[in-house]
Copies of this chain bind each other. A is one copy, B any other.
Amino acid sequence: MQNIGFSDIKITGGYWKTRQEINSSVTIKSVYERFRETHRFDALRCEWKDGEPDMPHIFWDSDVAKWMEGAAYILNSKNDETIAEIIEDAIDCIIENSDENGYFNSHYLVTEQENRFRNRDCHELYCAGHLFEAAVAYYEITGKDRFLKAMCKYADYIEKVFKTDKNAAFTTPGHPEIELALMKLYKATGEKHYADLAKYFIDEHGKHTEEQNYIESFNEYYNQDEMPIKDRETAEGHCVRALYLMCGAADVAYEYSDDELKKACERFFDNIVNKRMYITGGVGSTYIGESFTIDYDLPNRTAYTETCAAISLAMFANRMLKFGADSKYADIVEKAIYNGVMSGVSLDGKSFFYENPLEIDPEFNNVNTSTKQKERFPITQRLEVFECSCCPPNILRFVASIAGFLYSFDDETVYVHQYMDSETNANGIKITQKTEYPANGKIIVRCESDKKKIAFRIPGWCKAFTVNRNYVIKNGYAYVVLNGEDKIELEFDMPVRIIAANRRVHENAGRVAIMRGPVVYCAESVDNGADLKSVSIDINAEFEVNDSELLLPVLKTKAYRPKENENLYYEAGYDYEEIPLTLIPYYAFANRGESEMQVWLLRKQQIRGLCNKT
């Protein structure tokens, strides 16, 4: 099964066209400026001297590399001399300052040369991996290969140090990512030994716990070194590390037909989506270790749910589709990209969330007069740059390449995993989608191809749909026989749905979330007044679906709130007031000033004069 790359697909309308336009006009510049101001680009010049301010940080290269990767993607559809020059200048720096082995790291080269590959927790291989990804991207978009060649030399050196000579102080990266990057390098160059090196790292994880160095307070789970991947039953430790690693593992399992490793990937996926994932596709229940915790532990207000984690969940789920089309994977891609990923960037494209909580209650954050210490809550407004600023350029490259999630194909069938207004003509497959999805569920697909079939994902959230052709359902995909020039009309019924959480998710007890299609909704006090936590909603409520400036529709309904009462405690009665309730797409929260925000609303309770019997 092969993917149709995003560079062969043009997004032509709808939500993603708007998002991509902002991404390529605003986000790319804004992230560049913040990185420039914070000396991340300067660092590539390797001119920093001991005692100067702004010492290059161990993970700055990865920030710049992700920006370069995203910028390359944007150059695919847009000529921009300025961006092209910035990339070329960065490549100049990297090539000029790489040492005779091909090694490049803007921190180690100017600070502690002697400690190269001595500290597992210093992100060297993670930075290398991102540089490889950037080089592959730039090569594939522009055809220019000097950056790719330089990174191949670097990869060869890593292979020598880690696999051949085994003289690094550790055997696997503390922060995985190089595994998936090496698989990309292999695909771009055809050099199988890069895949072999990826497989080597994948196989080594968890084998050498005794000799590794761990950050104080963190352990082998944090570093994805607790046990061999094949033995794992659950998703543990730092979410982004875990998910990047498993992206590499899925790539390796597919490339080497490693069924045991594939099964570990399946268990990992199932554990996440069945027990450890927020309804937004966010993962990471605690800031401590930025990590998974235990099944059903999904606090809303302190959710960590890093943007990069949602991105990497989508990346991992998409890789699982290579083993065969199964809608459970593409459904999670969809869930993540419309919710927990895109909440990570403001509607104007300039500012970002690292953490994406499902509840914000700003009045009750940090309100202890007696101390300068604070309890820790996620920030309530997006920032333009973070000290650890992995998420902004990750969003940049993700949005630029979003179309890569749309299609794959094998000898017989073209698979349509996601629905976006778009056109492609590659690999002998010409497809256009005309749709406003997910504003509504109507999609017209035109397909010209010599493939026998086209398979459409039927979203897991969809209980009723029509296809204007005969179809056969298999693993959540509707297979339609192609005639050569086909026009297929799909319509997914898209009512507002009221979702409950498993009763083991104590945080959501008595509460429901509102979804329409793949989009999770939330309420903000800027629309609805304060004390949102006390607002309840009838599970049979009727909703108006209204267009809005938030790109996808907002919902209007009525809800119930306890009347004001001057007492702190009082005998429970039926004094509720009916209020109009506006729900906005979750991704759009915190775009209109600081506000209370709730995804999980109370389910309507006993209210005077209203019979709840059904």
Q: Which of A40-48, A191-199, A287-295, A350-358 binds B?
A: A287-295
A534 with B503, Cβ < 8 A, contacts A291-B369, A294-B367 known = yes
Contact B370 A289 (CB under 8 A): yes
Contact B273 A568 (CB under 8 A): yes
A521 to chain B, nearest CB (A): 14
The yes or no answer to A83 lying at the interface (CB within 8 A) is no
> In the complex, A505 Cα to B564 Cα: how many Å?
12
The yes or no answer to A421 lying at the interface (CB within 8 A) is no
- The interface residues of chain B lying within 8 Å CB-to-CB of A237 are 369-370
A462 to chain B, nearest CB (A): 12
- The interface residues of chain B lying within 8 Å CB-to-CB of A49 are none
The yes or no answer to A112 lying at the interface (CB within 8 A) is no
Q: Which of A88-96, A182-190, A214-222, A310-318 binds B?
A: A214-222
The yes or no answer to A571 lying at the interface (CB within 8 A) is yes
Contact B374 A288 (CB under 8 A): yes
Contact B222 A614 (CB under 8 A): no
Contact B603 A607 (CB under 8 A): no
The yes or no answer to A50 lying at the interface (CB within 8 A) is no
A497 to chain B, nearest CB (A): 6
- The interface residues of chain B lying within 8 Å CB-to-CB of A14 are none
- The interface residues of chain B lying within 8 Å CB-to-CB of A609 are 613-614
Assembly of this chain: how many copies?
2
Smallest CB-CB separation from A575: which chain B residue? B500
- The interface residues of chain B lying within 8 Å CB-to-CB of A536 are 510
A459 to chain B, nearest CB (A): 14
A291 with B371, Cβ < 8 A, contacts A499-B571, A510-B510, A539-B572 known = yes
Contact B371 A218 (CB under 8 A): yes
Taking a contact as CB atoms closer than 8 A, the residue among B370, B501, B538 that contacts A238 in the complex is: B370
The yes or no answer to A373 lying at the interface (CB within 8 A) is yes
The yes or no answer to A82 lying at the interface (CB within 8 A) is no
Contact A612 B611 (CB under 8 A): yes
> In the complex, A23 Cα to B569 Cα: how many Å?
32
Which residues between 563 and 614 of chain A lie within 8 Å of chain B, taking CB atoms? 564-565, 567-574, 602-614
The yes or no answer to A383 lying at the interface (CB within 8 A) is no
Which residues between 513 and 557 of chain A lie within 8 Å of chain B, taking CB atoms? 513, 531, 533-534, 536, 538-540
Contact B217 A372 (CB under 8 A): yes
The yes or no answer to A13 lying at the interface (CB within 8 A) is no
> In the complex, A562 Cα to B372 Cα: how many Å?
42
A223 to chain B, nearest CB (A): 8
> In the complex, A292 Cα to B369 Cα: how many Å?
8
- The interface residues of chain B lying within 8 Å CB-to-CB of A568 are 273-275, 277, 296, 501-502, 505
- The interface residues of chain B lying within 8 Å CB-to-CB of A221 are 369-371
Contact B613 A368 (CB under 8 A): no
Contact B364 A294 (CB under 8 A): yes
- The interface residues of chain B lying within 8 Å CB-to-CB of A363 are 294
> In the complex, A604 Cα to B572 Cα: how many Å?
12
The yes or no answer to A426 lying at the interface (CB within 8 A) is no
Smallest CB-CB separation from A275: which chain B residue? B568
A611 to chain B, nearest CB (A): 4
> In the complex, A361 Cα to B297 Cα: how many Å?
11
- The interface residues of chain B lying within 8 Å CB-to-CB of A367 are 293-294, 297
The yes or no answer to A504 lying at the interface (CB within 8 A) is yes
- The interface residues of chain B lying within 8 Å CB-to-CB of A565 are 502-503
The yes or no answer to A506 lying at the interface (CB within 8 A) is yes
Contact A218 B512 (CB under 8 A): no
The yes or no answer to A251 lying at the interface (CB within 8 A) is no
> In the complex, A210 Cα to B291 Cα: how many Å?
44
The yes or no answer to A19 lying at the interface (CB within 8 A) is no
Contact B605 A614 (CB under 8 A): no
The yes or no answer to A307 lying at the interface (CB within 8 A) is no
- The interface residues of chain B lying within 8 Å CB-to-CB of A603 are 510, 572, 605-606
A503 with B561, Cβ < 8 A, contacts A512-B572, A611-B612 known = yes
- Provide 13 A-B residue pairs closer than 8 Å at the C-beta atoms, listed in order of the A residue: A217-B372, A219-B371, A222-B371, A288-B374, A293-B364, A293-B367, A294-B363, A294-B369, A503-B534, A503-B562, A504-B531, A574-B614, A611-B612
User: Top 3 A-B pairs ranked by shortest CB distance?
Assistant: A289-B370, A506-B533, A611-B613
Given contacts A364-B506, A603-B605, 20 further A-B contacts (CB under 8 A): A218-B372, A218-B373, A219-B370, A221-B371, A236-B369, A277-B568, A288-B371, A288-B373, A289-B371, A293-B364, A293-B369, A294-B364, A499-B572, A500-B562, A505-B568, A510-B603, A538-B606, A609-B614, A611-B613, A612-B612
